[in-house]
Structure formats: structure tokens, C-alpha cells
A and B are shown apart, each in its own frame.
Chain A
Amino acid sequence: MSGVFGRPLSRVARRGAVYLGSLVVLAAFLFPIAWMVAMSFKTRLDIFTWPPKVFSFTPTLENYEKVLFGSKSFLHYVANSVEIAAIATLIAVAFGVTTAFALAKGRVGNSKALGFLLLSFRMMPPVALLLPYYLLFRSTGLLGTIPAIAITHAVFSIAIVIWMMRAFFEEVPNEIEEAATIDGATPWQVFIRITLPMSRPAIAAATIFALMTSWNEFVFAVVLSNTQTRTVPVAISSFVGEVYVSWGELAAATTIGMVPTLILAFIGQRYLLYGLTFGGVK
């Protein structure tokens, strides 16, 4: 640590150690994902080989072929998930953005109380709403339908959409909107012609957040769906209960379920963090 040459050298060594340590930590945390993805490319034989071959095997697409085009109709569940996520996101973003606009620009409502209300909506334990929803959809004959599942996902996304958009709108200066108002524009015109075009990145972020929330949601989907309207997480959880479980196909299905969210997450990471941490990390 001392001496003329010792000091810079030890600094380099320390920097190297930090890099190495960081990479080891990262590898340890990513390994489970990588291992399962690798498994999705293994034959049954390679999966059960002992000692296990982690990454040294001949990859096969067999599992993907079976999952996507076999008897499991997994593609059908993917389509369900896409449809539900699209409806939920459309509702959450459309309703959420207009609400956030009114809250931020119209000075309606007590901001503090509202903040708490939104926070509590966001933190609502799913089991509190699960039973009332179950009864509601059962009595209206909507149990097992795609719109029923989608609307419950929208409820859970909308609070965070409002939260994110309100923070964005409050930081946008009001001058342009005020000028337009003085020129005689109605709030709707201001909203559609001025505010919306300015907020495209924030809306994109809210959209990504809502899409991910719906795609990953499980509790409502498992209770409110039937065998025809299962979403991807529900379908995957049901594979395990089957008499014969093909672990390779299960890994392939899980990989298919996971990849879209990982891609979306890295596209919208910056804003996603704001939503995930309730504004705790910008």
C-alpha cells in the first residue's frame, strides 16, 4: 500500500477486485435465469444427465416446437395474455392520463389526500378484492371471460399510471397551455393538441408499465379464468399439476413468458423504476 509504485498498483488491484466482485454477484443472480433458458434447449436425456451438463450440450428446438404447436395450445394462452394486456393497458392509460391531467393542471382535489389514496390503491392486497370480484363476475355471468380479467388488471395499473403521469405533468411548465387557454382553447383542445403530444415518452413509459403488470399478473387471472381463457402465467402454473410433466417444455414455456417482459423492462427501464419504486428512485 505504500511506496512510489505501490500506491497506483494497489489502486488498480482494488479496482480490479471491485469489477470482479461485481461480475461474480451479477453472474450469481442471473445464473438461475440462464440455467432455465439453457434447459429449454435440452432434450429430456440432457436434462436428466448426472452429473448435470449446465451449458455443454447440443441445443434442440424440440421443446419449443412441442409447446407452441403441440397439444398444449400454449399459443392460445399467449394470445389470451396479449389480448388481456392490450385491453387492460388501453383502459388504464386512457383513463389514467386524463385523470392525471385534471389532477395536475386543474388543481382539483387535495393533492396530499390523493397521493395517499393512489398509494393505497397501488398497495392494495389482491386477496382483498379477489372474493368480491369472484362474486361480481360470477353473478353477472362474466366469470371466465377475457374482459373480466382485463378490467381487474386495469384497476391495478391505473393507480400507477396516474401516479407517473401526474408527476410528469406537474413538471411540465404551464405557459404554453395557459397561452392556448387565453386564445380560447377548451381544456379538451389543450389536452389533445398540446399536452398529449408533449407527453409521448411518459405515456410510453406508463404503457410499458401497464403491459408488464398485466402480463405478469397471476392471482386474478387464476381465479377469474377458465381453461379457455387462461393467461400465460396461469397456464404455466397448471403444467405442474399434470400427470406427465415435460420439464424441458415447461422451461421453454417459462422462457416464452419471461422474454417479452425482460425486453420491455430494458426498453423502459428508466421510467419503470419510477413506477416500481413508487417514485422512490428516479
Chain B
Amino acid sequence: MPVSDTTLAGSSASRPSFQGIGIARATYWWFLAPATTLAVLLVILPLVALIVMTFLRWNLTESPIPAFAGVDNYLRLFADGAFWASVGRTLVFTAESIILQLALGIAIAVLFNRDWFGMGVIRALFLAPMMVAPIFAGMIWRLLFSDDFGLIRYVILLLGFEQAPLWLGDPNIALQAVIIVNVWQWTAFVVLFILAGLQVISPDLYEAATIDGAGPWTRFWKITIPLLSPIIIAVIIFRAIDAMKVLDIVYVLTAGGPGNSTETVSYRVYQTGITFFELGYASTMALFVLLTVFVMAYLLLLAGRKRS
């Protein structure tokens, strides 16, 4: 698997400007027209609509006609304990997932980082969970977690425990189950980035450190981790943005339950808007998600720029 060079997001945009094929610029606008039209109609205008909707009282179960609500939705958002609980849950989900993915990802990348015979195949096959749609991944784990025939329960009983947890039915554990699925799916993503980072570190550094008497552990903490830190930061932001958007695996594993115990912020937007038809208020929550992601994407850009 070719993991060689790293040019992150922002840095590719800052490559030195090259010579174009110098012809009348106006002609090129025709090439841009279709995608620009699509972007205006299906991204820009909908986002404007979203912002407008945040100022409306619009509940389809009450009336199809929206009413102007001023900043009511915003005030409601600030005071909405259930919403902030879902934000908190998303933070727990994000933090736990990222810590586990990083720990596993770095360990696995260090293990896989050899150009021996067959290692390329191992690295390629390792990506499979990441290629599976979240819905299918969720379904696989729903079966694995099953209380009737799930293999996880069997293994836990085999290990000598009296009882296996009701993974998806226990409000104290369900979020952990969703985290496990997320970690299973996206650890490969971290491995990819870390592998790319490891290839850039010069072997001379390790040799010099070994001559100075540094053991493998010292070398790992004093050379590998510091040199990987820009990549680690980028990976954290990527995974955090994705965690803000988590909806599909929650939908298929637990539908936010039991109770609200696995309701992430994106899932709450979906529920409020599509299940309960509170369009105005759901839009306000959606705008919150959008702005959070936007800030994180900007941080990513800054991190990318710092690296290049």
C-alpha cells in the first residue's frame, strides 16, 4: 500500500502557483458553470434557508405555515437541558473514541510499519472495516452484541463471568457499545495517517539516539511521538468532525436509546426535525452542529498550514 507522502488539506492549496494554459479566461467560466450552479442551488441556498428557518416557529404537526419567532429558538436552545446533554454525550463519545483509536492506531501502525514480504497485503486488508458503510457496520455489531446468539456474550461467559451485559439494552453501557463499533470502524483511518507520518521520520534519528544509549521506549516517546504530533493533531480534528456527524450507527444500533442514553447531537437534530417535525428548532440545532464543524475544519486548516 502506498503510504508515502503527506500533504494535508490546507497545504495542497498553498502550493506555488504554476503556469496555466494561457487562453481567454472567460471560456473557463463555462467549465465552472454546472458545478457552481449545483453548489449555489443545493448548498448555498439551503444553508441560507437553514439560517432563515432558525428564526421561525415551524412545527408541521401543528400548522404547515411558519410563523416568525425572533430569537425564540436560540433562547430555547440555550435553556434546553436535553440538547446540552446530547452535546455532552457527543463529547464523551468523541473523546473516548479518539483516545482508543489513537492508542490502538499508533500501536498497530508501529507494528505494521515494515516493508517486509506480505505486510502490504496485511495493511490493505486491514482497511476493510473502514470501507464498509456505517449502516452495515452497525448491523454486523448488532448481531455480534445480540443477547440470543451474539458471539460477544458467548466469549464473556466463556471467560468465566456470571453474566454478560445487555450491550444495547442497558442505558449505562449502550454508549460504550456504539463507541466500540466506531473504534472498530475507524482505527484503520488513524493507522493510515500514522503510517504516513512514520515514513517521514528519518532512521538516522533513531540510530543517533541508540548510540546515545536510548532504549526503544525512550526512542518512542522522545522521537516518534513528538515528530508525529502534527499528524496526531490533524487526525484528532478529522475524527472529532466525524463524531459530530455520527448518526447512522446510532440509528441502526440503538435508535438513540435506551432512553436517551445514546442520543448524539446529530441524532437529536434528526429526531427533532424528521420524527417530530419541529423544523424551526431542529434547524437551530443543525446550525450549532454546522458552526462547530466549521470551526474544527478551520483549525484543521491552520494545523495543516503550520506543518507545511
A25 close to chain B: CB less than 8 A: yes
Q: Report yes or no: B140 in contact with A32, Cβ–Cβ below 8 A.
A: yes
- Chain A residues bordering chain B, tally (CB within 8 A): 107
Task: For residue A195, give the distance in angstroms from its CB to the closest CB of chain B.
Answer: 10
Chain A positions within 8 Å of B93 at CB level: none
- Which one, B4, B45, B247, contacts A282 given CB within 8 A? B4
Once bound together, how far apart are the Cα atoms of A54 and B150, in whole Å? 11
Is A258 a contact partner of B13 (Cβ separation < 8 A)? no
- Interface centre among A48, A125, A254, by most B CB within 10 Å? A125
Q: Hey, which chain B residues are within 8 Å of A240, CB to CB?
A: 139, 142, 252
Residues facing A in B251-289 (CB within 8 A) are 251-252, 266, 269-270, 273-274, 279, 282-283, 286-287, 289
Interface set of A (CB-CB < 8 Å, partner B): 15, 18-19, 21-23, 25-26, 29-30, 32-33, 35-36, 39, 47-48, 50-52, 54, 91, 94-96, 98-99, 101-108, 111-112, 114-116, 119-121, 123-136, 151-152, 154-155, 158, 162, 167, 170, 174, 177-178, 181, 186-188, 190-191, 212, 215-219, 222-223, 233, 236-237, 240, 247, 250-251, 254, 257-258, 261-262, 265-266, 269-270, 272-273, 276-282
Interface size on B, residues (CB 8 A): 107
Min CB distance A53 to B, Å, is 10
A21-B111, A125-B289 given; A154·B38 CB < 8 A: yes
Bitwise, B77-108 to A at CB < 8 A (1) or not (0) is 00000000000000000000000000000001
Give the docked Cα–Cα distance between A22 and B114 (Å).
11
CB distance B143 to A36 under 8 Å? Answer: yes
Q: Report the nearest A residue to B125, measured CB to CB.
A: A26
Best-buried of B29, B135, B266, B298 by chain A (most CB within 10 Å): B135
Closest residue to B1 on the A side, CB-wise?
Answer: A269
Check if B154 sits within 8 Å of A51, measured CB to CB.
yes
Known: A131-B283, A174-B19. A116 touches B13 (CB 8 A): yes
Give bound CA distance, A14 to B140, whole Å: 35
**Closest partner residue, chain B, to A24 (CB atom):** B111
Say whether B22 faces chain A, with CB atoms less than 8 Å apart. Answer: yes
From known contacts A29-B129, A95-B35, A279-B8, infer whether A131 and B53 are also in contact, taking CB-CB under 8 Å: yes
| Contact A174 B18, beta carbon cutoff 8 Å | yes
Bound CA–CA A221/B308 (angstroms): 39
Residue of A nearest to B15 (CB): A170
**Measured CA separation A155–B132 after assembly (Å):** 21
Q: State A236–B142 Cα separation when bound (angstroms).
A: 12
Considering the chains assembled together, what is the distance between the CA atoms of A261 and B14 in angstroms? 33
Flag if A233 contacts B136 (CB, 8 Å): yes
Interface of B is mostly: helix
Do residues A129 and B47 form an inter-chain contact, with CB atoms below 8 A?
yes
Chain B interface (Cβ within 8 Å of chain A)?
1-10, 12-15, 17-23, 25, 27-29, 31-32, 34-36, 38-39, 42-43, 45-47, 49-50, 53, 108, 111-112, 114, 116, 118-119, 122, 124-136, 139-144, 146, 148-149, 151, 154, 184, 187-189, 192-193, 195-196, 234, 238, 241, 244-245, 247-248, 251-252, 266, 269-270, 273-274, 279, 282-283, 286-287, 289-290, 293-294, 297-298, 300-301
With A219-B270, A237-B251 known to touch, is A127 a contact of B289 (CB < 8 Å)?
yes
A99 engages B31 (CB within 8 Å): yes
Q: Which residues of B contact A282 (CB under 8 A)?
A: 2-7
A115 close to B9 (CB less than 8 A): yes
CB distance from B111 to the nearest CB of A (A): 6
Bound together, the chains give a CA A279 to CA B139 distance in angstroms of: 30
Known: A33-B140, A218-B133. A125 touches B116 (CB 8 A): no
